[in-house]
Amino acid sequence: MKHIIIVPDGMFDNPVKSLGGKTPLQAAQTTNMDHMAKNGFCGLVQTIPDGMPPGSDIGNMAILGYNPKTCHTGRAPLEAANQNIMLADDEVAVRCNLATIANGVMEDYSAGHIGTKEAKELIDALNNELADDNIKFYLGKSYRHTLVLKVINPQKIKNIKTVPPHDILGKNITKYLPNGPEAVMLLKLM
């Protein structure tokens, strides 16, 4: 028997005025999904272990059979691997989003859904100003990029607490800046 698992990761959104207050999914023609739902088996599964923050990186890891409580190191190492960025034992990958902040308030977590071509100019500028033997920015897609840091003790960086920009839209970023004993290196870059 063949199985297909459909993971609607990223499919849900907020209602859109131009769609009559519907979400894009509610407004979409979902003929094939409707057919599969009607003729297949549907179910629910809790993919986020108790005590872990909900997110696609954790949920997808669980769907693929990995235990996020023991395997999850964040989104950035997976994205770095996808970009063929090989991390040395003394390097860590950090997700580096381009965002729009005005007067200390997170206005847009995606820098206006910046295009990759325009983002490349910004990533190149960051590398020209900040990169050295210990710091390098890697171009990803749109607003999603990777920062690789060379650190003395990679285990210590796990203690840094960060908040995804999309979680603080409309809020002052001050209380959401990276914190923890090793956060100073990220704060200096910001």
Residue 134 lies in a domain: yes
Can you give the pLDDT at residue 105?
98
| Residue 109: CA count within 13 A, CB half-sphere | 11
Q: How does pLDDT run across 87-101, given as a tens digit for each residue?
A: 999 999 999 999 999
Residue 22 lies in a domain: no
Taking residues 68-88, what's their average pLDDT?
91
Residue 131 lies in a domain: yes
- The reported pTM is 0.78
Residue 153 lies in a domain: yes
**Which amino acid makes up residue 61?**
M
Share of the chain above pLDDT 90, in %: 65
Say yes or no to pLDDT of 180 above 90: no
Q: How does pLDDT run across 98-151, given as a tens digit for each residue?
A: 999 999 999 999 999 999 999 999 999 999 999 999 999 999 999 999 999 998
Per-residue exposure over 44-55, b if at least 16 CB sit within 10 Å of its own CB, e if not: eeebeeeeeeeb
Residue 62 lies in a domain: no
Residue 21 lies in a domain: no
| Class of residue 182 by CB neighbours under 10 A (exposed 0-12, middle 13-18, buried 19+) | buried
Residue 72 lies in a domain: no
Say yes or no to pLDDT of 158 above 80: no
- Considering only CA atoms, which of 122, 115, 101 is closest in space to residue 168? 101
Strand duo 144-150 + 135-141: pairing? antiparallel
- What's the structural domain count of the chain? 1
Residue 175, domain extent:
83-189
Residue 87 lies in a domain: yes
Say yes or no to pLDDT of 35 above 80: yes
Taking residues 34-39, what's their average pLDDT?
92
| Residue 171: CA count within 13 A, CB half-sphere | 12
Q: How many DSSP H helices and E strands does the chain contain?
A: 8, 5
pLDDT averaged over every residue in the chain:
91
Calpha distance 153→96 (Å, rounded) = 20
Share of the chain above pLDDT 70, in %: 100
Calpha distance 76→20 (Å, rounded) = 36
Q: Which pair of structure tokens corresponds to residue 152?
A: 């003395």
Say yes or no to pLDDT of 12 above 80: no
Q: How does pLDDT run across 37-49, given as a tens digit for each residue?
A: 899 888 888 899 9
- Confidence label for 169 from pLDDT (cuts 50, 70 and 90): very high
